[in-house]
Structure 1
Amino acid sequence: MSYSPWQRSVLDNALAALTEGRLAHALLLVGPAHMGKTAVADVLAQRLLCSAPTTDNLACGRCRSCTLYAAGTNGDIQRVTLEPNEKGDKLRTEITVDQIRRLGQWFSLTPQLGGAQVAVIAPADAMNVAASNALLKTLEEPSANRFLLIVTSRPGRLPATIRSRCQRLEFRIPARSDARAWLVTQGFKDADIDSALDAARGQPGLAAEWLGQGGLSLRREVITELNAVGTGKLSPIELAQRWLGDEQGELRLRFAADLALDAASRRVGAAPAERGGLTVPADFPKLSAWFDAINRTREQLKAPIRNDLVLAGLLREWRTMFP
């Protein structure tokens, strides 16, 4: 596996703690989305299960545990994540208490290979209240050679009682020069890298995703369409239906919210101006409220309500902020 510098830093710290006997049974891997947290959790899990680690303290890739791990048949690792709904056509939005209870029962079993047991929970912030309470019971009763790797980009959504019982492994956004250098090694064009890093607020993994999957083009479309609504050239209901008409709806709303936040942070008391191609209103309080409302709409996209009507109302508010 090829590691980014920020992944390597976290992994090295964890492996050093393991070597020195300082590694806790519960690890909380935190940091912004798209920083490779789950990938590091998987590498660390394989190392914890390996019976013949290498001289640089990584999994050997050859022992029985590693062979089964690579085949996906190692019974001493469990992954807890979002499961399909009853219809099987979508993922659930929560990790349920039943999943965590099954995990607790699994931890009570004897390891199949006689070594460690490792569970990876990702995204841990998706646990509902009952699931979090059930996990707390597992955390309160640590056992030798039982490890919990808890992965989240939103640690504030986890109860303090869970966070306080974990050893924290933090993924930090690197310096812009380091992020830029890494993106160059991934084969992206210099001309696009700075724009992507700006849009991603310095997060290199997110910038890489948008560079590779057309996110920057979609962001430019959002700017053009918001300008069209602001000048009355495009109706709010038409744009709302367009934005939510495919799987890119959440990303469009993220871009709209980010653009509004950028505008609000630079617009206090100023006249209307261009920000990254977006014409923004001068009303700071309304702009801030609009940012909050767009984010609430993002959160409820999966709820069974007419989100297109909610969004159309917000786009009408955007239009009224212009003279």
Structure 2
Amino acid sequence: MSDDLPEPDRIEGAPHPRETETLFGQEQAEAAFLEAYNSGRLHSGWLITGPKGIGKATLAYKIAAFLLTEQPADGGLFGDAPPAPTSLSISADHPDMALIRAGSHPRLSIVRRPVDEKTGKLRTEITADPVRDLKKFFHMSAADGGRRVVIVDVADEMNVTAANSILKELEEPPARTTLLLLAHQPSRLLPTIRSRCRELRCKPLSPADVAHALAQADVHVDETEALATLSGGSVGEAIRLMNHDGLKMYHDLVHMFDKLPNVDRTAALKLAESCAGKGAEARFPMALDLIDLFLARAARTGLVGEPSTQGAMGEARLLARIAPNDFAARRWAELQQELSLKVRRGRAVNLDPAALILDMVFRIEETARSVAAD
């Protein structure tokens, strides 16, 4: 991959998963893999699932390092079998770890979005070529007889041809080979791929684990509750929020909606203008995501009551007021679906970002008035 292109599996401002020392919050998934390994039921295909940014890739690299540094089980000096491993952790000083961190281990292959030779940019999907290259990898890496590992990051991004090629490898996997498929939305994968893999489910992190993972990435923040709330337990999303001033943007959204069913028009115009023009490439999608999150939290509040944590000061009180019951919850959920569809259509035809943001704000105002009237 070209040095001037970001790796598609790297989050800006955080160490790459292969460089991450400690995985937080996924003890159950780690234990499930170890149990299968120690019982001799090691599947050739594993599907590692869960939302973005919660540690799926870090877990995949931990598993890969564990398998690539595997010690022979043919007994020690006196013929005794080594004790069953109780952890996936491998010493950072192990010689194989340096190769893994450098991305040059001869028995580890990473399948991800390639560079489009015509544009010089990353493709939007995993094409067949990286998967076809596995044939060469399997042949070359078989020389020393050690285990081989393939990580597909992420399998959701495979096009049809690539998915069918991976399916063939899962149907007839080479000996001593493990395929680790990461998926944000496993329902998008071929049912035949899912059926040939054992699933490891990663869960959103607790606020404490988010804080620990951020500290490991050398990211320090005071508003830990707000960050954990808005990120949904995703370290990747928490870092994105930090990188693009998402905490302040959500605070401004809550302030703008504080007087619903009336919206602060000046604040709405300021938000819309900030999402348009040069330099707003990251701010615009952030605004869309946070508005969607606000609506989702409003719908949930109508069903289960005032939230126990806040994404901004005063948010819990605001949500409880605009979503007092399950009827209001339905109205906010319907609006979320409506605006989500409008966003997809608007972005497909390159609708003016400012116009799209203002339209969303005014639809929220209309819905709040409707809820208040009922």
What's the TM-score, normalizing by structure 2? 0.69
User: 2:250, 2:290 within 8 Å by CA — same for their partners in 1?
Assistant: yes
> 1: distance between equivalents of 2:339 and 2:255?
17
Q: What amino acid does structure 1 have at the position aligned with 2:350?
A: I
Alignment of 1:1-323 (within 5 A): 2-50=21-69, 52=71, 56=85, 58-59=89-90, 65-85=96-116, 86-89=118-121, 91-173=122-204, 179=209, 182=212, 192-201=223-232, 203=233, 205=235, 208-209=238-239, 213=243, 214-226=245-257, 230-231=262-263, 233-234=265-266, 239-243=271-275, 245-267=280-302, 275-276=315-316, 278=318, 285-296=330-341, 303=348, 305-306=350-351, 308=353, 309-323=355-369
Does the 8 A contact of 1:31 with 1:172 survive in 2? yes
- Sequence identity of aligned pairs in percent? 23
Q: Deviations over 1:229-286 (max 9, x none)?
A: 9525248676444235231322222211111112123347x9xxx7436577566554
Query: Counterpart amino acid of 1:137?
Result: K
Change in CA separation of 1:43 and 1:265 when aligned onto 2, cut-off 3 Å: closer
User: Cα distance, 1:179 vs. partner?
Assistant: 4.2
Equivalent AA in structure 1 for residue 338 of structure 2: A
Please give the alpha-carbon distance, in whole angstroms, between the structure 2 residues aligned to 1:207 and 1:58: 25
Give the CA deviation at 1:159.
1.9
Where does the alignment leave 5 or more consecutive residues of structure 1 unmatched? Answer: none
| Preserved CA contact (<8 Å) 1:225 1:239 | no
Conserved 8 A contact 1:253-1:294:
no
Determine the C-alpha separation between the residues in 2 that align with 1:68 and 1:185.
25
Aligned length: 316
Greater shift, 145-154 or 59-68, is seen at 59-68
Question: Quick check: 1:188–1:211 contact (8 Å CA) kept in 2?
Answer: no
Q: CA deviation at 1:149?
A: 0.6
Which has the larger displacement, 80-89 or 124-133? 80-89
RMSD: 3.8
In the alignment, the residues of structure 1 paired with residue 179 and residue 128 of structure 2 have an alpha-carbon distance, to the nearest angstrom, of 16
Residues 84/183 of structure 1: CA separation in 2 closer, same or farther (3 Å cut): closer
The answer (yes or no) to whether the contact 1:50–1:60 under 8 Å persists in 2 is: no
The TM-score normalised by the length of structure 1 is 0.78
60-69 or 242-251, which deviates more: 60-69
| Runs (5+) with no aligned partner, structure 2 | 1-19, 73-81, 306-313, 370-374
- CA deviation profile, 1:57-106 (whole Å, cap 9, x unmatched): 654556664443343322221111223344234x3221123332333453
SS at match of 2:133: helix
The letter of the residue matching 2:119 is: K
CA 1:212 to 1:287, structure 2 compared with 1: closer, same or farther past 3 Å?
closer
Counterpart amino acid of residue 275 in structure 2: W
CA distance, structure 2, for counterparts of residue 170 and residue 99 of structure 1: 26
